[in-house]
Structure 1
């Protein structure tokens, strides 16, 4: 899931709101009314709750901002924090939808020369991602880019000279497979640095900064993980954790203890293996132990992998009379490539919006989703059939040497283990002009194999951490490829702004 463009947009908006004495958030509850009667701050908060419920998100943000200012002036810091977080969430609900109808039309014409009025109308009326606030339809910020993803002929014209697909396909098209016994082959050793740097002027002046800093985690295909030279060890309260469901270290840093810019860094190293599962024999797939806790975990609904009756019915339609879990998973993989093409999605809005909509459900219902959303929908389909599946989060170095945030998926087969696939990378073959046989070979590779150019942070979306991110905190909950930041005293949405200061550098090294 590459959130860089989204985060940049959100950070700018958050800073503009700060300068305008605004902030943002979605309502948690209405428990802020005093028994003696509502104060002006209580009334402003209640108007914010009502405005949000009526889909007046911009108005709700303003009312919550008023309540925040009034509570702060009165010294009621608990209610001020509740109003501030509600303000943050209201802002996140709509901020990724900056275009009205005319602006969305203009964006499409600028991005796709020659697009017809009929095509614009069909896209905006029937397929584009949108939200209604104050009775005005607003369109997602990448309304034009997503049109291209859905129209591969236009996409190929714009990408065939920009993507070095021979480089991207260097593992999928490799002819040097002699002697490989699998499933873990061709190790690549990586070393690098993770770094979060925040200017001093962006720090709150008081309070505690709670930071969940991502780290690589041990998996079957990512081994020998080391983390050294962690900054500010005196402020580490938990970790570093490099085993279990997710890699991270947890800091609590008093704002007053930071002199100058805040810098957190870690030296990391690990070995990543290519995963080859070409030799799976469906007849040799064993029986699931349905009482196993891990089986139950990866076949149930989660916050962003939701198994609904509609999802279950669709999964059964996809696989028909097939009962073998490996063949079923392969059928789901190819179905998603064909029926659920990649597109960018409003992750902040999906994460903040009430009532909550799972990422997998968003793609199932709208047809829109990126690497994370595609992986979560794949997992939801598999889980609905009793096949354990999960969405893996981290980074990839396949397209360039610079790590890019990414998600992919795995499904479990008794006798074989966790089998990987990458729907999004596979679908990239549709964006370029290459021979059909090479396109098919590329997709076939990523159906049950995976290149070693990966850094795994979390073994599943919504992987738990301890201490957990507070339920009322405004952060990107699904994705831990970037630091999560919580402050009770900051007057702007730190978790939107700070990730722009987070970088990872990695290089393959000899050992």
Structure 2
């Protein structure tokens, strides 16, 4: 396993669907737009992409800027659909063969069949997720453990397992507070942006919680263009800037923030038989037991949740049954979040329907299953900061009366099953820790998926479920500035040692 193991949401900069070049419009822009909508409904996405682009050109010539922008937004949506779904059958097979040479052609063919990997149909052709080979490895314990053995370490398990059962040691790092300094930088080549207009930017910042405190925003640059914030209270951390591009004359447009924060471990001692009844009329209960865009409590999920918990009525024990179910039956996968966003698919529905889920989809699924049986639940997000393995990450929480929000991380817990150097007893201890407890290696930006920042809703922003990356809008630009900003952003974290 490579050191920069992917356990998080990621984006790929897409310059366009391969070989797509818009033809000269031969119909009116309204006709082209209607043809594009029909093509979308019939999964002829490549054709729709052409027509939306041609419609945008026609609307530009007629001076209808609103419809021009709407056409470009639809073309952008199609681009996002294929940002991580560009492989045809031949190229998908070649990637599997190169990544896992021990598989025979017949064994590889199985993963190209419908339902065996993440796929989509467009214009009569099947397209495959670029992470198809990685997911084959994640779903095969023998392969993933062999990768760990070759690398000489088991990520997350090695950082946590030696300390979980040693709480009394004052030098135990997972039972201590940790203070970090973070620097977020976005450096966009000036040539990728229009000459004039306003670049609207929402930068993600830490949000204050019971376990994330002492937040100090040291800088936001260019400070002259900060319109609101920094905001670090409530449910999401952010700062909003409006940058006049005509004043940006350098080779790059540079936007940055620096801050510090302190995180604490979350260690809970729960008496499962002493859980009080929920106040089902409370705003908290009402808010976190209903469906939302990414945590959809569908009838299918309700049915499965009741099958999982059976006759159990204790909310703590019901949540544990759901936790065990996900770890035992839903192996970690990379998933195409640009596709999910573009298709307006709920995170919980995607994993339920396909069987593929990463930290975000697994956490949404846990929350949806809990909500389905009357347990308030949510999915906070930001970054995980395990030594040597920092990256964007989501986890989950469920609420218990008098105890509050209980942390759960099914994704990190599952990593114990990958450990080549672990005994079954060690794996069980490791997995049990992440139900109701949490390490201090967390940077929280939002307390739940779909928490809106001040710029939402906006049709120019597709990636609304998470805010680990900046959101950008420039209404003067025909380019996908949202994707440009996401691809240009980096966060680095440095722990402050005493």
TM-score surpassing 0.5?
yes
Deviations 1:88-114 (A, max 9, x none): 012212332212222222221111112
The residue aligned with 2:183 is 193
Kindly indicate whether the alpha-carbon contact (under 8 Å) linking 2:413 and 2:434 is maintained by their aligned counterparts in 1. yes
The residue aligned with 2:489 is 502
The whole-number CA distance in structure 2 between the counterparts of 1:64 and 1:136 is 20
The whole-number CA distance in structure 2 between the counterparts of 1:60 and 1:42 is 13
The whole-number CA distance in structure 2 between the counterparts of 1:431 and 1:321 is 32
**What is the correspondence of 1:337-376 to structure 2 with a 5 Å cutoff?**
337-353=327-343, 356-376=344-364
Kindly indicate whether the alpha-carbon contact (under 8 Å) linking 1:160 and 1:431 is maintained by their aligned counterparts in 2. no
The residue aligned with 2:101 is 113
Please, which moves more after superposition, 382-391 or 500-509? 500-509
In the TM superposition, residue 170 of structure 1 has moved relative to its aligned partner by 3.5
In the TM superposition, residue 2 of structure 1 has moved relative to its aligned partner by 5.7
- The gaps in structure 1 that reach 5 residues or longer are 23-37
Pair 453,148 (structure 1): closer, same or farther in 2 beyond 3 Å: same
In the TM superposition, residue 17 of structure 1 has moved relative to its aligned partner by 8.0
| Structure 1 residue 406 corresponds to structure 2 residue 398 | no
Q: Secondary structure at the match of 2:259?
A: strand
| Structure 1 residue 142 corresponds to structure 2 residue 131 | yes
Q: Secondary structure at the match of 2:167?
A: coil
Please, which moves more after superposition, 286-295 or 368-377? 286-295
| Structure 1 residue 420 corresponds to structure 2 residue 410 | no
Pair 168,17 (structure 1): closer, same or farther in 2 beyond 3 Å: farther
The residue aligned with 1:237 is 227
In the TM superposition, residue 379 of structure 1 has moved relative to its aligned partner by 0.2
Deviations 1:238-266 (A, max 9, x none): 22110111101112222213222211112
The whole-number CA distance in structure 1 between the counterparts of 2:217 and 2:256 is 10
In the TM superposition, residue 166 of structure 1 has moved relative to its aligned partner by 7.7
- The gaps in structure 2 that reach 5 residues or longer are none
**What is the correspondence of 1:12-161 to structure 2 with a 5 Å cutoff?**
12-14=14-16, 20=21, 40-125=28-113, 126-161=115-150
The whole-number CA distance in structure 1 between the counterparts of 2:82 and 2:156 is 38
Q: Secondary structure at the match of 1:62?
A: helix
Please, which moves more after superposition, 408-417 or 121-130? 121-130
Q: Secondary structure at the match of 1:304?
A: coil
The whole-number CA distance in structure 1 between the counterparts of 2:102 and 2:404 is 49
Q: Secondary structure at the match of 1:276?
A: coil
Pair 478,66 (structure 1): closer, same or farther in 2 beyond 3 Å: same
Kindly indicate whether the alpha-carbon contact (under 8 Å) linking 1:224 and 1:270 is maintained by their aligned counterparts in 2. yes
Kindly indicate whether the alpha-carbon contact (under 8 Å) linking 1:168 and 1:399 is maintained by their aligned counterparts in 2. no
Aligned match for 1:212, one of 191, 202, 220:
202
Deviations 1:346-386 (A, max 9, x none): 11111111xx3201001011100100000000000001111
Poorly superposed stretches of 4+, deviation over 6 Å: 15-18
| Structure 1 residue 7 corresponds to structure 2 residue 6 | no
The whole-number CA distance in structure 2 between the counterparts of 1:65 and 1:390 is 39
The whole-number CA distance in structure 2 between the counterparts of 1:488 and 1:96 is 26
The whole-number CA distance in structure 1 between the counterparts of 2:17 and 2:126 is 24
Q: TM-score, normalised by structure 2?
A: 0.92
| Structure 1 residue 431 corresponds to structure 2 residue 418 | yes
The residue aligned with 2:154 is 165
**What is the correspondence of 1:229-308 to structure 2 with a 5 Å cutoff?**
229-260=219-250, 261-277=252-268, 279-308=269-298
Deviations 1:391-424 (A, max 9, x none): 11101111516x3011111111112111111111
Aligned match for 1:490, one of 462, 468, 477:
477
Pair 4,445 (structure 1): closer, same or farther in 2 beyond 3 Å: closer
The whole-number CA distance in structure 1 between the counterparts of 2:50 and 2:155 is 51
Q: TM-score, normalised by structure 1?
A: 0.90
Kindly indicate whether the alpha-carbon contact (under 8 Å) linking 1:61 and 1:87 is maintained by their aligned counterparts in 2. yes
Kindly indicate whether the alpha-carbon contact (under 8 Å) linking 2:183 and 2:256 is maintained by their aligned counterparts in 1. yes
Kindly indicate whether the alpha-carbon contact (under 8 Å) linking 1:172 and 1:445 is maintained by their aligned counterparts in 2. no
Instruction: Compute the RMSD of aligned alpha carbons.
Output: 2.3
The residue aligned with 1:34 is none
Kindly indicate whether the alpha-carbon contact (under 8 Å) linking 2:137 and 2:143 is maintained by their aligned counterparts in 1. yes
Q: Secondary structure at the match of 1:177?
A: coil
Please, which moves more after superposition, 301-310 or 64-73? 64-73
In the TM superposition, residue 497 of structure 1 has moved relative to its aligned partner by 2.1
In the TM superposition, residue 3 of structure 1 has moved relative to its aligned partner by 8.7
Kindly indicate whether the alpha-carbon contact (under 8 Å) linking 2:33 and 2:52 is maintained by their aligned counterparts in 1. yes
In the TM superposition, residue 487 of structure 1 has moved relative to its aligned partner by 1.7
The whole-number CA distance in structure 1 between the counterparts of 2:159 and 2:7 is 26
The residue aligned with 1:221 is 211
